[in-house]
Amino acid sequence: MMGEYILKRLAVMVPVLLCGSIITFGLVFLTPGDIGVMMADAEASAMGAMATPEMVEAIKEHYGLNDPIHVQYLKWLNNALHGDLGRSFSTHKPVFREFMDHLGPTLTLNLAGILIALLIAVPLGVISAVKKNTIVDHLCRVYVMMEISMPTFWLALMLLWFLSVKYDIFPLYGYGVGWKDQLWHMALPAIAMGTSMTGSLMRLTRTSMLETLGHGYIVTARAKGLPEFIIVFKHALRNALNPVVTMIGLFFGRILTGSVIIESIFSWPGNGNLFLASINARDYPMIMGFTLIFMALFVLMTLITDISYALVDPRIQYEKS
């Protein structure tokens, strides 16, 4: 049953991804100017020369830029499916390799960030729900309101100023050498990223907990005389976690876009920083390749989230979704 559900969802992914590829390919028409000239310029600058009209024509012929648009698209898609997303204009390396080279730092930073967010937000959300309308709850809600109104980049800058400049606790930026040093360098960006997720996560946990605590089986558990601790953590929390799982999945799906700002502030050598650099350098193959890869990752993460959702909560029927 589970296998069938996964297969069905995978089948739905195909048209979505195809449309994503059409959107990505369509991005090329937004560029001001002739893409053939730009590619020729990029190739020529790699050899330390200027592009001549003949070169432009040769490049256009070589990459099939004179072909009808649907042929171009199919060629591009075929190449993309074989892992060939073109070469970066600035580094001349294959786009896919650039992506893989920078994936590690982005993944570790995001994992650490999400872990920190979970460790802060879920316990506080639970406390806030259990102690509803007490001073603790009010404080938590004030925090949530402040946090969701705060720009992520400003929070990161403030942490940087306070913890690195004023009290020289963490390094200012960079990646570090050796795992201990790297961990040390990662601390501040991870704290900034994690904190920026706590607001929405806490609010969600609180709402979900409040709803679960209102259910009949909680009353039953209380009537049985179970300790409050067990009621909250065993009966309520497990059932309240579903939306939290979904949100974590969303955070993962937004790894690139979520970490662009943090990575650029802390000069973290990840994909977010690279994507930003590509945008600023008008590196079109990189922008298109990264957009395609991250669209695919996002769709995949949505699928994984839905599956884990079903695993966490056996009541969910696969057929219905």
Partner 1 sequence: MSGIDPNMKHLWRHLPWVRRNRSRDASIKATADESTSLWVQSLHRLCKDPLAMIGLATLILLIMIAVFAPFLAPYDPDAIDISQRLQWPSEDHLLGTDKFGRDVLSRMIFGARLSLLMPAIIVVNSLAIGTTVGLLSGFKGGLVDSLLMRVVDIKSSFPGLLLTLAIIGMLGPGLFNAVIAMSISGWTGYARIIRGMTLSLREMEFVEAARTLGGSDGYILIKHILPNVISPVVLLATLNMAGAILSLAGLGFLGLGAQPPTAEWGAMLSDSQGLIFYAPYLMFIPGVAIMITVLAINLLGDGLRDAMDPKSGGMAEAMRG
Q: Which residues bind partner 1 (CB under 8 A)?
A: 16, 19-20, 23-24, 27-28, 30-32, 145-146, 148-154, 157-158, 160-161, 165, 253-254, 256-257, 260-261, 264-265, 275-276, 278-280, 282, 284, 287-288, 291, 294-295, 298-299, 302
Residue 16 corresponds to which amino acid? V
State how far the Cα of 101 lies from the Cα of 95, in Å rounded to an integer.
10
Kindly state the smallest distance separating residue 225's Cβ from partner 1, in Å: 33
Name residues whose C-beta falls within 8 Å of residue 56's C-beta, 6 or more positions apart in sequence.
34, 36, 37, 40
Kindly state the smallest distance separating residue 316's Cβ from partner 1, in Å: 19
Kindly state the smallest distance separating residue 109's Cβ from partner 1, in Å: 17
Nearer to partner 1, 15 or 53 (CB): 15
Kindly state the smallest distance separating residue 248's Cβ from partner 1, in Å: 15
Kindly state the smallest distance separating residue 144's Cβ from partner 1, in Å: 10
Look at residue 224 and give its three-state secondary structure. Answer: coil
Transcribe 248-307 into DSSP letters.
Answer: HHHHHHTHHHHHHHHHHHTT--SHHHHHHHHHHTT-HHHHHHHHHHHHHHHHHHHHHHHH
Nearer to partner 1, 166 or 315 (CB): 166
Nearer to partner 1, 120 or 159 (CB): 159
For the chain, how far is it from start to end, CA to CA, in angstroms?
13
Nearer to partner 1, 152 or 212 (CB): 152
Q: Which pair of tokens denotes residue 158?
A: 């403030």
Nearer to partner 1, 46 or 145 (CB): 145
Look at residue 87 and give its three-state secondary structure. Answer: strand
State how far the Cα of 119 lies from the Cα of 240, in Å rounded to an integer.
16
Nearer to partner 1, 43 or 147 (CB): 147
Kindly state the smallest distance separating residue 254's Cβ from partner 1, in Å: 5
